[in-house]
């Protein structure tokens, strides 16, 4: 049995549970011993408990069982996220009576994944299973956040990373750690990173630029990039896009002879300032 948890009894007789690293590197599916050991240690004492989480996720079955055990525990459960609570670890965090995050902590929600081997029928079974696992995870998020199932599903589809402030804003967390209540400071702007949203934003900006170029030149000299954004191939294609510079004609009496300038187009990332993210 590879333990990823550790119990500590504090001087005031309260207890603290530390969850660090991968949640069950070996799945709890068809495992009766490991869940029983965790439950036995959980029920070995009474009173309120604190759970510190720093985990990238892991086994969905183990996360589900730990979530259920903590939800069923008689005392208050205070969850504190000091590093990351991603994937399955975010599900466990939802069991907290109160969920607190360090200002530098992150939470990530995404769709479950698995590895499947077999014919098309086996693949369809795996897809159906993942759909049901996703619905079960949404159940935990919905109870804690109160968000609609559709919105939670979209957040998972986009593999969304949440800052501490954004997690509080959406209801995944209740407050921040280490914040002085008597001397509050203005809250910084919260953020949530979505890989899909960033890609869509880049595509929209580039399409707008190409439309403007087409109006100026009548055509687009280079094809729209098909390579992944940020790749060497995409940058090479983007830098071939035409760049025209409109010059105002001066009256003849004010015209002077000037040396010709090199009109070679500047790289697109310098003009759009898009590829500095």
Contacts of 41 (CB under 8 A, 6+ apart): 5, 7
In a domain, 83, yes or no: yes
| pLDDT score of 187 | 55
CB 107 within 8 A of CB 84: yes
DSSP code string of 166-209: HHHHHTS-SEETT--TTS--PPPPP-EEEHHHHHHHHHHHHHHH
At 57, which CATH number?
Answer: 3.90.226.10
Q: Are residues 42 and 86 in the same domain?
A: yes
Three-class DSSP category at 34:
helix
Using alpha carbons, list the distances in angstroms from residue 4 to 35, 110, 147, 246: 12, 22, 31, 64
Residue at which a domain ends, from 190, 214, 232: 190
CB 106 within 8 A of CB 77: no
Q: Residue 231: which domain range? A: 197-247+261-272
Q: How far apart are CA 17 and CA 41, in angstroms?
A: 10
Q: Are residues 101 and 203 in the same domain?
A: no
Q: Are residues 114 and 201 in the same domain?
A: no
Q: Are residues 204 and 185 in the same domain?
A: no
Q: Are residues 137 and 240 in the same domain?
A: no
In a domain, 253, yes or no: no
pLDDT per residue of the chain (277 residues) written in tens, 0 to 9: 678 999 999 988 899 999 999 999 888 887 888 999 999 999 999 999 999 999 999 999 999 999 999 999 999 999 999 999 999 999 999 999 999 999 999 999 999 999 999 999 999 999 999 999 999 999 999 999 999 999 999 999 999 999 999 999 999 999 999 987 655 545 555 556 666 666 676 677 777 776 766 666 665 544 445 555 555 555 555 555 555 444 445 455 545 555 554 444 444 444 333 333 3
In a domain, 277, yes or no: no
Q: Are residues 111 and 174 in the same domain?
A: yes
Q: How far apart are CA 90 and CA 94, in angstroms?
A: 7
In a domain, 42, yes or no: yes
CB 100 within 8 A of CB 177: yes
| pLDDT score of 269 | 40
Q: Are residues 126 and 222 in the same domain?
A: no
Q: Are residues 101 and 208 in the same domain?
A: no
In a domain, 256, yes or no: no
Q: How far apart are CA 46 and CA 60, in angstroms?
A: 27
Q: Which residues pair with 54 in a beta bridge?
A: 20
Q: Are residues 19 and 147 in the same domain?
A: yes
Q: Are residues 171 and 266 in the same domain?
A: no
Q: Are residues 27 and 159 in the same domain?
A: yes
Residue at which a domain ends, from 190, 215, 239: 190
In a domain, 145, yes or no: yes
In a domain, 18, yes or no: yes
| pLDDT score of 28 | 84
Residue at which a domain ends, from 190, 206, 228: 190
| pLDDT score of 181 | 61
pTM above 0.85, yes or no: no
In a domain, 140, yes or no: yes
The total number of structural domains that make up the chain:
2
| pLDDT score of 251 | 52
CB 241 within 8 A of CB 220: yes
Q: Are residues 138 and 66 in the same domain?
A: yes
| pLDDT score of 13 | 87
């Amino acid at each position: 049995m590879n333990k990823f948890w550790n119990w500590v009894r504090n001087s005031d007789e309260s207890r603290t549970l530390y969850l660090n690293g991968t949640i069950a590197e070996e799945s709890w599916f068809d495992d009766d011993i490991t869940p029983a050991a965790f439950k036995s240690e959980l029920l070995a004492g009474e009173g309120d408990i604190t759970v510190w989480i720093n985990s990238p996720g892991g086994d969905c079955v183990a996360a589900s069982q730990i979530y259920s055990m903590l939800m069923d525990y008689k005392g208050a459960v205070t969850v504190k996220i000091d590093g990351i609570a991603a994937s399955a670890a975010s599900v466990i965090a939802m069991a907290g009576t109160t969920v607190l995050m360090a200002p530098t902590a992150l939470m990530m929600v995404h769709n479950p994944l698995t590895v499947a081997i077999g014919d098309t029928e086996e693949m369809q079974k795996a897809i159906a299973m993942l759909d049901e696992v996703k619905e079960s995870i949404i159940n935990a998020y919905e109870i804690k956040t109160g968000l609609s199932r559709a919105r939670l599903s979209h957040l998972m589809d986009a593999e969304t990373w949440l800052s501490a402030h954004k997690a509080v804003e959406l209801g995944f967390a209740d407050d921040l750690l280490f914040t002085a209540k008597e001397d509050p400071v203005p809250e910084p702007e919260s953020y949530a990173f979505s890989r899909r949203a960033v890609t869509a934003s880049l595509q929209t900006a580039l399409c707008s630029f190409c439309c403007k170029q087409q109006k100026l030149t009548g055509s687009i000299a280079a094809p729209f990039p098909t390579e992944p954004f940020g790749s060497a191939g995409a940058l090479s294609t983007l830098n071939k896009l035409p760049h025209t510079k409109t010059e105002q004609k001066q009256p003849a009496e004010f015209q002077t002879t000037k040396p010709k300038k090199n009109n070679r187009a500047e790289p697109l990332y310098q003009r759009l300032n898009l590829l500095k993210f």
